[in-house]
Amino acid sequence: MGDTQRLSHFGEAGEPRMVDVGAKNATARTASAHAFVAMPAAVLAALPSNPKGNPMEIARIAGIQAAKRTADLIPLCHTLPLSYVDVRIHTEPGGLRIESEARTLAQTGVEMEALTAAAIAALTVYDMTKALSKAIEIREVYLLEKTGGKSGDYRR
């Protein structure tokens, strides 16, 4: 395999490794991600009176906290100085739409932080509502957009 085809997270012998970004310049980078939590209408209607508290606010805070801990959760991720993280959760027919945003000035991208925020927010909604139904599903976790870095901008 030539250098242009080598996967960056594998060393010469094929062992997993963390990519060395030390020689790269820090640049502004952003990413946003999406998740959808599908739930029965009765669960959606019961959200405001949930005995555990407001699942959407707890999930929003959990997502923000998760973004800050991404390097602890994903083995080869770099620890990034996050300048901003937000999680927005909207009620719509069939469930909750979650969108996260993360920003940094760093040597590597912030996509994993945005994806982690959306996924953990979705898992937190499940945790906060599972007593009401086991039919809740987490769907459609994906990157919406990223800016900055060598690979350029991306928009789904």
CB 35, CB 141: distance < 8 Å:
yes
User: Judging by beta carbons within 10 Å of its beta carbon (0-12, 13-18, 19+), is residue 118 exposed, middle or buried?
Assistant: buried
Counting Cα atoms < 13 Å in the Cβ hemisphere of 155 gives: 0
**Which of 3, 72, 127, 153 is labelled catalytic?**
127
Amino acid residing at 34:
H
Amino acid residing at 95:
G
Is position 127 annotated as part of the catalytic site?
yes
**Strand, coil or helix: 120:** helix
- Strands in the chain per DSSP E: 27-38, 82-92, 95-106, 137-147, 154-155
In angstroms, the CA 61 to CA 125 distance is 11
**Catalytic residue numbers, as ranges:** 127
